[in-house]
Amino acid sequence: MSEPVLKIEIRGAIAVLTMNRPEKRNAMCDALLEAIDGFFRAPPAGVKAAVLTGSGGHFCSGLDLSEHVARDAEGTMRHSRSWHEVMNRVEFGGLPVVSAMNGAVIGGGLELASSTHVRIAEPSTIFQLPEGRRGIFVGGGASVRVGRILGADRMIEMMLTGRRYSAEEGLALGLTHYAVGEGEALEKALELAEKIASNAPLSNYIMIQALARIEDMSKADGLFTESLCAALTQTSPDAIEGLAAFLEKRAPNFGAGA
C-alpha cells in the first residue's frame, strides 16, 4: 500500500500535516493539493491549530512540472483559480496555520507558505519564484500574497532574475517570521501552535478573518471593521474569562463558559 501524499497526525489540539512526496521534493500535484484542501474544508473536531511541513528535507518545490497538463487559456485560468480557492481556504478557513520550512520553498511552495499565518525557516531553506525563467507567470496567489510581503518592486526583480533568498534574507524580508537552527523548525512550530491554540478561539478566528481584509480597505472602513471586531471579541465569554484570569493571576480557561 502506497504512502499518503499528505500525512496527518493529531497531537492534542494540534494537527501536523506533512507533505509526503520526498522523491519529488514535495512538488505539488493535484492529489496533494486536493488532500490539503480536504483537510481544511473539514478539520477534525478539537483541532485548534495546524502545523504544515514537508518530508525528506524539503517543504515544497512548487508545481510538479513532470505532471504538467497542456491546457488552453480557459483551462489554465480555471486551474489557477482552483489553486486560489485552496490557498484561500488555508488562509481564511479559521484555523491558525504554522509552516515549518526547510529546503525548497519554491514557486507554488512559496505560494502555499505565504497563505499560512506563521512561518519558520531552517538554514537550508531557499525561497524562489522561478516562473519567469520558465516562460510562465505565478498562478497560485504569489502576485498578491508574496507581493504584499515583498512589495511589487522587489518581487519583480525576484521573478525577472530567478534569484534565491536564504532563510536569513527571508527573515529580513518577511518571507519567514522566525529563523531557527537546522532540524529545529518543527519543534518551534509545535511550540508556537500550542501557544496559539491556547488563545480564545473567537479572537484567533477574528484575527485570521479581519486583518488581511482590513489591509484591502480604506482607512475609514478599516477602522469601522476594527470596532466591529472589538465589539464581538470584548463582549464574549472568553473576554470575561481572560480579564478574570489576569486579575486572579492564573492561566485563562477559554471555552469553559461557551
Q: Which of 91, 111, 122, 241 is catalytic?
A: 111
The Cα 62–Cα 104 span in angstroms is: 8
**Which DSSP helix (H) or strand (E) runs through 154?**
helix 152-161
Here the cell at position 144 is 498578491
Q: Are 180 and 188 in contact (CB under 8 A)?
A: yes
Q: Phi, psi (5° rounding) for residue 50?
A: -130, 150
Short-list 108, 104, 102, CA closest to 87: 108
Q: Which of 91, 122, 131, 241 is catalytic?
A: 131
SS3 percent helix, strand, coil of the chain, rounded to 5, is: 50, 15, 35
Short-list 143, 132, 47, CA closest to 96: 47
* Domains located in the chain, CATH noted: 6-197 (3.90.226.10), 201-247 (1.10.12)
* 215 counts as catalytic: no
- Max alpha carbon distance in the chain (Å)? 64
* 226 counts as catalytic: no
- pLDDT tens over the chain, length 258 residues: 589 999 999 999 999 999 999 999 999 999 999 999 999 999 999 999 999 999 999 999 999 877 767 789 999 999 999 999 999 999 999 999 999 999 999 999 999 999 999 999 999 999 999 998 888 999 999 999 999 999 999 999 999 999 999 999 999 999 999 999 999 999 999 999 999 999 999 999 999 999 999 999 999 999 999 999 999 999 999 988 888 888 898 888 887 544
pTM of the model as a whole: 0.93
